[in-house]
Amino acid sequence: MSAYRVKEAFYTLQGEGANQGRPAVFCRFSKCNLWNGREADRASAVCNFCDTDFVGVDGQNGGTFADAGALADHLIALWPSDFRPAFIVCTGGEPFLQLDDALVAALHDCGFEIAVETNGTLLAPAGIDWLCVSPKGRSTVVIDSCDELKFVYPQADLSPEDCVHIQADHYYLSPRDDRYLTQPGTQEELAALRNASLIATSQRITNHTAECVEYCMSNPPWKLSLQTHKYLGID
Ligand SMILES: C[S@@+](CC[C@H](N)C(=O)[O-])C[C@H]1O[C@@H](n2cnc3c(N)ncnc32)[C@H](O)[C@@H]1O
Ligand SMILES: Nc1nc2[nH]cc(C(=O)O)c2c(=O)[nH]1
Ligand code: SF4
Ligand SMILES: [Mg+2]
């Protein structure tokens, strides 16, 4: 593996899914295979509703790390306690462009339990402790089983029923947050949107949230997952 490129890393609570509320170090890897991250290319991307800036290595605690040991040391330093296991959520961008056997081993050696948020289009290395697959539009999902499947709803090219062949212990619907699709213009305005608590802009998400509630109530085993960090105004 050449050097690992990380956009940002931070300590917060997992905001989504079955681990919602659990303290975690987040490692956001740079780069994705379903969008290049440029607003000008969003509309034509396979994944066109992304809420995340994953371009470059310039975020908090971001950088380029020469080997797995150096990155794992950097990440465990963000865990504030002697309590083990420590918990890490690897996300991005698409983490499986970079997360390999060497990094899984180095993170385990540091005492981390490893969770991953992936679009499911790339195979996972062995040893991931918690896998969340979130299928996107016309992409081909190659992972056939996971701990939780998180469907961002609605999607023009994909419905939840298209995904139930993927084995999962939990099937979640997560309301699509459309605040990033309004093309407000400058990078500064987009960054301000990303940092704005949903409480301030809740009107914008009520439609998809209500659609998700209705879908879950009509279609067990689907359950609702909210992006609680956005309501709380935390990372
Ligand atoms: C930014 S992605 C990074 C990990 C991976 N590339 C993926 O798509 O799963 C992290 C999580 O945010 C979700 N997500 C991205 N944009 C969203 C949006 N506009 N509304 C709701 N969830 C979104 C993704 O589906 C995924 O579960
Ligand atoms: N608190 C918090 N929880 C999250 N769960 C998934 C996230 C992601 O961007 O992958 C995320 C995130 O960015 N922050
Ligand atoms: S696959 Fe994930 S990181 Fe890539 S553009 Fe979509 S939501 Fe964003
Ligand atoms: Mg996020």
Using a 6 Å cutoff on CB, does residue 93 contact ligand 2?
no
pLDDT band at 68 (very low <50, low <70, confident <90, very high): very high
Q: Is the pLDDT of residue 219 over 90?
A: yes
C-beta of residue 125 within 8 angstroms of C-beta of residue 61: no
Looking at residue 199, its pLDDT comes to 57
Catalytic residue (choose from 52, 67, 108, 113): 52
Catalytic residue (choose from 74, 90, 118, 229): 229
Distances in Å between the Cα of 218 and the Cα atoms of 50, 212, 222 are 27, 10, 9
Q: Is the pLDDT of residue 205 over 60?
A: no
Q: Mean pLDDT lowest for which of 5-14, 123-132, 195-204, 210-219?
A: 195-204
Cβ neighbours of 41 (radius 10 Å): 11
Interval 94-100 mean pLDDT? 99
C-beta of residue 107 within 8 angstroms of C-beta of residue 114: yes
Copy the structure tokens of residue 25: 């170090």
Using a 6 Å cutoff on CB, does residue 155 contact ligand 1?
no
Using a 6 Å cutoff on CB, does residue 230 contact ligand 1?
no
Q: Which ligand is nearest to the CA of 180?
A: 1
Q: Which residues are 131's β-sheet partners?
A: 116
pLDDT band at 1 (very low <50, low <70, confident <90, very high): low
| Residue-range domains of the chain with CATH | 4-232 (3.20.20.70)
